[in-house]
Amino acid sequence: MKTLVIALLALWLVFALVGALIEGLLWLLFIGLLLFLATAAWGWLKLRSDR
């Protein structure tokens, strides 16, 4: 579970960076950041409840 969350966070971060670097893909930056934050919150809650 922890590996999946980390992999998804890395993927969303890459999407956000590509969106920031390529001028026409600013929407990808916002989607990447939104998915990054949602995955981080979900992973934090899920890993916290497993204890």
pLDDT of 48: 85
Residue whose structure tokens are 């579970």: 1
Q: Along the 51 residues of the chain, how does pLDDT read in single tens digits?
A: 789 999 999 999 999 999 989 878 889 999 999 999 999 999 999 888 876
Q: Alpha-carbon distance 8 to 45, whole Å?
A: 15
Where would I find the H helices in 1-51?
A: 2-21, 26-49
pLDDT of 51: 66
pLDDT of 40: 95
Helix axes 26-49, 2-21, angle to 10 degrees: 160
pLDDT of 23: 79
| SS3 call for 50 | coil
Tokens of 22: 């390529």
